[in-house]
């Protein structure tokens, strides 16, 4: 049961952080083209992160097991 809660914490963090960064980009980057470029760049980075996470989950031990392995070091 404890491992399940760790897994949900990791998954929750993966979904909360991109929303927070998007808000920071909206608040602190001004001008006419820079906010659009920053949001596009952040979208590209988020997509690459998701692809990397999917690759790691399907070809290796998975994110939850990896976090458990790191905590047991």
Q: Given this model, what pLDDT does residue 19 score?
A: 67
pLDDT tens-digit series, residues 11-49: 666 666 666 777 777 788 888 888 889 888 988 988 888
Task: Compute the distance between CA of residue 15 and CA of residue 7 in angstroms, rounded to an integer.
Answer: 13
Region 56-66: mean pLDDT is 83
Which class for 40: exposed (0-12), middle (13-18), buried (19 or more C-beta within 10 A)? exposed
Task: Compute the distance between CA of residue 45 and CA of residue 67 in angstroms, rounded to an integer.
Answer: 22
Buried-state track 4-36, b at ≥16 Cβ within 10 A, e below 16: eeebeeeeeeeeeeeeeeeeebeeeeeeeeeee
């Amino acid at each position: 049961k404890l491992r399940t809660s760790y897994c949900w914490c990791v998954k929750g963090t993966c979904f909360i952080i991109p929303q927070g960064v998007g808000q920071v980009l909206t608040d602190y980057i001004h001008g006419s083209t820079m906010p659009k470029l920053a949001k596009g760049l952040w979208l590209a980075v988020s997509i690459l992160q998701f692809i990397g996470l999917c690759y790691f989950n399907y070809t290796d031990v998975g994110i939850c097991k990896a976090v458990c392995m790191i905590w047991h070091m």
